[in-house]
Amino acid sequence: MNDEDNKDDLDLDSPFRGTGGIKIFLIGFMGCGKSHWGRLLSQKLNVPFFDLDEKIVEHKGKSIPEIFASEGEEQFRLLEKDVLHLLSESHENFVMATGGGTPCFFNNIDYLKRQGTVVWINCSTDCLYHRLLKEKDKRPLVANTPDSELKSYIIKKYSSRKIFYQQATVILPEEVITIEDMVNKIFHAND
């Protein structure tokens, strides 16, 4: 058993106590802050935090760029789906930061919504551009995009993915979120 398993018993101070488990999935474009907010939210709710990309890396023993390079995006998407199912079905309580493309392949968005509460961290394409400019290397989809073409790549990809992100139960504009606001909106998502 590890620390994450130990935390599976909900803290009595959690607003979700007595609800029979809480699974929160953060979705959104690369660079929107899913891991940052996911960590904060998991601490606030005292439940384990999973970063789907990190779990894929652990599972495969290769970095995300290495998986893309050696196996291709199609294999990565299959792996992503398998690890998503494995984690979701073996834990009762968690906050998970998914990858930017997770809800956009197979029927993952429907799966996420059946499993728990789906939260879209929405961020302006301007903000995504400034963040991704500094962090291109870790992300195979943009690693080879020249800086001069990055903004238009983001705008195009964002507009094709928005249709999936918009299906989230809760939509939060990243620029104005506080952790209290986030908990409140998630807690009242089904009111």
Comparison of 10 and 142: residue with beta carbon closer to ligand S3P: 142
Comparison of 57 and 189: residue with beta carbon closer to ligand S3P: 57
Residue 127 binds ligand S3P, judged by CB under 6 A: no
Residue 141 binds ligand S3P, judged by CB under 6 A: yes
37-66 positions binding ligand S3P, by CB under 6 A: 53, 64
The enclosing H or E element of 133 equals helix 125-134
Comparison of 99 and 116: residue with beta carbon closer to ligand S3P: 99
Compute the distance between CA of residue 31 and CA of residue 15 in angstroms, rounded to an integer: 28
DSSP states of 49-117: EEEHHHHHHHHHTS-HHHHHHHHHHHHHHHHHHHHHHHHHHH-SSEEEE--TTGGGSTTHHHHHHHHSE
Residue 11 contacts by C-beta under 8 Å, 6 or more apart in sequence?
Answer: 17, 45, 46
Position among 24, 26, 27, 30 found at the interface with ligand S3P (CB under 6 A):
30
Residue 15 binds ligand S3P, judged by CB under 6 A: no
Compute the distance between CA of residue 26 and CA of residue 118 in angstroms, rounded to an integer: 6
Comparison of 91 and 139: residue with beta carbon closer to ligand S3P: 139
70-109 positions binding ligand S3P, by CB under 6 A: 99-101
Residue 139 binds ligand S3P, judged by CB under 6 A: yes
Q: How many residues does the chain have?
A: 191
Q: Which residues bind ligand S3P (CB under 6 A)?
A: 30, 53, 64, 99-101, 139-141
